[in-house]
Amino acid sequence: MKMAKIDTVVVIGLGVMGKNLALNILDKKFRVIGYDVNQTKRNEISHSQYNSIKELEDLKSYNQNPVAVFLMLPADKISDDYISTVFALLHPESVVIDGGNSHFKDSIRRVQTFAERNYQYLGVGISGGAEGALKGPSMMIGGHKTSYEKLAHIFNEIGASFEEKSCARYVGASGAGHFVKMIHNGIEYAIMQSIAEIYTVLKTSGSFIPLEISEVFQSWQDSHLDSYLLRISAEIIAHKEQNEQGFTLDLIKDQAKHKGTGKWVSQFAFDLGVPINGINAALESRFLSSDKALRSKIDGIYNSEKQILQSNNESRQSLIQWSKELLELNYILSFAQGISLIQKGSIDFNLNVQLTEVLAAWMNGCIIECKFISALLEIYKKQPALEHLLLEDSIAKNVKQLQYNSRKLVALAISNHIPLNVSANNISYFDYLKTLHSSANLIQAQRDFFGQHGFERIDKDGIFHF
């Protein structure tokens, strides 16, 4: 007998993300059962299709039919035992979805462990912040396809869409959803930092007031750079608090925090030996920013004579153009690094990630959403096995053009004491990849010289020593 489509969704964890997701689901005409340990949060939603439960055990009273359960809890609050408890309270055909920022290795293990017990579990990376959860997030879904198919009608309704295509996508096997979301966050860090670097150059040049920088950023929205992060940056830069003269940004501490998913990307890339220089530099920029006391001591010694970029009207236009090109180059190289990590990780962990599905999920609703992704989608539709983005013709043509002014801007920034960690690292990443004869022969020689590790030669096979 064919079972009726699941029409009831349980949301466990009604913090900002959980609450907004519940409201989104209600808006799409599904019934929602909400649970949170906090009574106020449980009762915050008022809707004819909404019921809250006081205790997790009360889920039992809904076990006549299968339901979809979204766990919207911080990763450290989700344990295998907790999930087992939830499953035991449900109809056996129910599907539990981890919608938090869990580590993908936990996701792989859980999909497999629970499948052995005939439970259906999906690990779903959800992006788009609080607003995305409410209006339609990007969803990267991983697990057994049959479990996904049971809930596809719900995912398609509640996820964001782009040109009427859903951005809630089944991206691959067990763990693939959280894996892709993790790398999404690495790209997110790199693009955020790239925009911050361009902002700093323009601000330090002395030729732009914040409102002008905001306008410059806005004007780039009609190019390939059209993106969520650039849009919000333009808004943030121009923001003033009520009755305040100055800009809000100037009142915000220059010390960036992080919750850890960006760090997982770097740790993972190190384990796999995949270079992601720009993404790593974005994480390290946050580390560098955090010790303000040390920075101010060092600034006192080395940076007392601050140099400001000098610019006349002509160079003002150049600065805008160079900045735009550098930002475009950073977008390309950030995605290139993230994609190469997805490709390698997918093979090593048997995740069977469908890159075109990932890109389709990123088209709208997520933090790294940008126009450039449509170009990427076309590229990977035509060449799914493309080894590296820099090898593709249209990208190569573009990068060849963008590199000149990008280099000029990075050089200018370095000579003016402005740290452009992501931009400089991205250019080095590109330069290294296009270097036919690298300095690694000397590294090999040094290793052998002091450690007798051996070196290989270009003129004959075998292992040799000094």
- In the complex, which residues of this chain contact ligand 6PG (CB under 6 A)? 101, 127-129, 185, 188, 258-259, 261-262, 366-367
Residue that the structure tokens 């995949």 belong to: 274
Q: Which residue has its beta carbon closest to ligand 6PG? A: 127
CA distance 26 to 249: 36
Closer residue to ligand 6PG in complex, CB, 135/408: 135
Closer residue to ligand 6PG in complex, CB, 148/228: 228
Closer residue to ligand 6PG in complex, CB, 261/425: 261
- Choosing from 188, 197, 328, 357, which is the catalytic residue? 188
Q: Is 163 a catalytic residue?
A: no
Q: How far apart are the first and last CA of the chain?
A: 75
| Least distance in angstroms from the C-beta of 418 to ligand 6PG | 23
Size (the chain), residues: 466
- Can you state the percent helix, strand and coil of the chain, rounding each to 5? 60, 10, 30
CA distance 344 to 276: 12
Closer residue to ligand 6PG in complex, CB, 144/263: 263
Q: Residue 296 corresponds to which tokens in the numbers above? A: 């101010």
Task: Determine contact, residues 419/199, Cβ cutoff 8 Å.
Answer: no
| Least distance in angstroms from the C-beta of 262 to ligand 6PG | 5
Q: What is the DSSP string of 379-441?
A: HHHH-TT-S-GGGSHHHHHHHHHHHHHHHHHHHHHHHTT---HHHHHHHHHHHHHT-SS-THH
Residue 421: CB atoms within 10 Å = 22
- Judged on CB neighbours under 10 Å (0-12, 13-18, 19+), 195 is buried
Strand, helix or coil at 104?
helix
Quick one: CA torsion of 290, 294, 298, 300, rounded to 10 degrees? 100
How distant is the alpha carbon of residue 79 from its chain centre?
Answer: 24
| Least distance in angstroms from the C-beta of 138 to ligand 6PG | 8
Query: How many helices (H) and strands (E) in the chain?
Result: 18, 10
Q: Is 135 a catalytic residue?
A: no
| Least distance in angstroms from the C-beta of 100 to ligand 6PG | 9
How distant is the alpha carbon of residue 177 from its chain centre?
Answer: 12
CA distance 424 to 281: 9
Task: Determine contact, residues 264/182, Cβ cutoff 8 Å.
Answer: yes
CA distance 135 to 365: 8
Nearest to 140, CA basis, from 184, 177, 179, 87: 177
Strand, helix or coil at 123?
strand
| Least distance in angstroms from the C-beta of 189 to ligand 6PG | 7
Closer residue to ligand 6PG in complex, CB, 188/392: 188
Residue 128: CB atoms within 10 Å = 24
Nearest to 36, CA basis, from 57, 14, 8: 14
Closer residue to ligand 6PG in complex, CB, 54/259: 259
- Choosing from 41, 181, 263, 324, which is the catalytic residue? 181
| Least distance in angstroms from the C-beta of 129 to ligand 6PG | 5
| Least distance in angstroms from the C-beta of 128 to ligand 6PG | 5
Closer residue to ligand 6PG in complex, CB, 228/349: 228
| Least distance in angstroms from the C-beta of 26 to ligand 6PG | 21
Closer residue to ligand 6PG in complex, CB, 52/261: 261
Name the residues annotated as catalytic: 181, 188
